[in-house]
Amino acid sequence: MTMTTTSDHVLIFDTTLRDGEQSPGATMTHDEKLEIAEMLDDMGVDIIEAGFPIASEGDFAAVREIAKRSKQSVICGLSRANFKDIDRCAEAVRHAAKPRIHTFIGTSPLHRDIPNLTKDAMADLIHETVTHARNLTDDVQWSAMDATRTEHDYLCRVIEIAIKAGATTINIPDTVGYTAPRESADLIHMLIEKVPGADEVTFATHCHNDLGMATANSLAAVEAGARQIECTINGLGERAGNTALEEVVMALKVRHDIMPWNTRVDTKKIMNISRRVAQVSGFAVQYNKAIVGKNAFAHESGIHQDGMLKNAETFEIMRPEDVGLSETSLVLGKHSGRAALRDRLNQLGFDVGDNQLKDVFVRFKELADRKKEVFDDDLIALMRDGTDAANDRIQVKFLRVICGTEAPQSADLTLEVDGVDHQKTATGDGPVDATFNAIQQLFPHDARLQLYQVHAVTEGTDAQATVSVRMEENGKIVTGQSSDTDTVVASAKAYVNALNNLLVRREKTKPESV
C-alpha cells in the first residue's frame, strides 16, 4: 500500500528509533522502543522508521513487534542495497497494516569508492535491489545516501532508475549536514524538474544538523516540492543530530501564513514524548532548545515579563499548551490525596491504573515529606523513576557518606545482590566517587563509565536531582537514570540502574546452548 499525499500535506517520517538510536549511548531497550513507537503512532506521525532489522536479532524483534502493534502509521525498516538485507526487512515489517521497505546506497564519489563500484555497476545494483524490494511490498523508499555531495547528472540518473524499478518515495539525504537552505531547495527543484517520473513519487528530505541548519534545510526542501520530512524527537541522532520533529512541525503550524502546508501531528503531545525520549535515551534536552527546552517559554528579562503580563503575544509566538505544556499552577504537597495526584498525572499525559497509582502515591508521599512543594517536573521525574525494581538483581539498600574539606570522603554502602545483602565502605575523590567505588567493589565489573550528568529537576535547595549514567562494556552501551532529593543517593541508584540494564543486555546476547 503506497502513501498518497495532497500538495498541501507534508508527511512526517520519524526515525528516532533508527537514526536517533544510532547516536552513541542512545540505545533503547525493547520495551522502550515499543513504548516510543506507540507514542509516535498516537501523536499522528505518518511513517515510523522502527529500526534496521538486519543489524541484530534485537532490532529485528523490535521492528516486527512494532509492526504488529501499529494502528495508524506506516511502519518502515531500513536495509542496505542487497537481497539479504531487504528480505530481512520485509520479514520484519510484513505484519504491519502499512509496511514499507527503505533501502539505500551511498551515491557520492566518496561513498562509491568504499565498495569500489563504478557508476554503471552501482546503477545496475540500484535497479536490482529496488525491483526486489518492490516485489515484496507496494511501498518502497529509496535513498541516495550523501545525495547533497553527489554529481547532479548521476543523481538524476539513479533516481530515474529507482523510480522505474518501483520506488514510491525518493529520499534526498544531507547525510553529513553539508548543505544550506538555498542549495537544499535548488536541489529538490532541479530533481523534480529533470527526472522522468518525478511527478509520480514523493520526494523526501533527510537533513543532519552539523552546521545547525537541519530544520531550515528541511523546510526549504518542502518549499521546493519535497513532501516528506525525515526527523527525530529532540533532534536526536549521530554527531549533531537530525532535523527535530518538534521544530519543523511547529514551524509549519506557527508560520502557516508563509508555509501553507499541514501535518497530521497532534502538537499537544510533543512535550510528553520529548521528555520520554530524553529519559530513555539518556540525552537531556538543552534548556534553550527550541520548542521543548525548559526555557522555551520562560521569561526573566524585566521588559519581557512586563510585556507578557500585558499581552502574551508580545514575546510568545505560540502558546505553551500548543505543545502540551500545562498552564496550571496547582502545586501538590504532603496533604494532597490520590484523586488530586491522579488528576495531575493525567494532565501531564500519564494514564495510571489503580495498581500503578497505589505505588506512585506511596513514593509521592515519601517525596512530599522531604519537599515542601511537589511541582510538575517532580511528578514527571517520579513517574520516570517508577520502573519496577522487583526484578532487578542489584538494589541500593543503605547509603551513608562522609564528605567535607578535611575528613576523608567515604561511602558506607549496602547493596542487595540476587537477594543477599552485601556491605562495603570505600573512599574516593568526593562522595559520588566513593559511592561508585563501593559499588564497583561489591559488584565487580569491567564496564567503563562514559557519562555522569546531574540536572536539578526544579529550583530550590530541596530540589530533586536527576542523575544520568552511561556505561560501556565490550561495545555494549547502557544508560541508567534516577531522581532523588539527595544527589548522592540519586547517583548510586542511577549507577545501579545502568548495571541492571547491562545485566539484561548480557543475558540477551548470551549464545544459546546446544
In the annotated binding site for Mn(2+), the residues are 19, 206, 208, 242
Give the whole-angstrom CA distance, residue 341 versus residue 16. Answer: 31
Tell me how far apart the alpha carbons of residues 75 and 13 are, in angstroms, rounded to a whole number.
Answer: 10
The DSSP secondary structure of 72-135, one letter per residue, reads SSEEEEEEESSHHHHHHHHHHHTTSSSEEEEEEEE-SHHHHHTTT--HHHHHHHHHHHHHHHHH
- Cell numbers standing for residue 265: 501531528
Residue 169, H or E segment: strand 169-174
In the structure, how many helices (H) and strands (E) does the chain have?
16, 14
d(CA 491, CA 480): 9
Question: Alpha-carbon distance 275 to 282, whole Å?
Answer: 10
- Alpha-carbon gap, residue 395 to 165, rounded angstroms: 56
Q: For the beta carbon of residue 448, count every other beta carbon within 10 angstroms.
A: 10
Residue entry with cell 498541501: 8
Question: What residues form DSSP beta bridges with 453?
Answer: 468
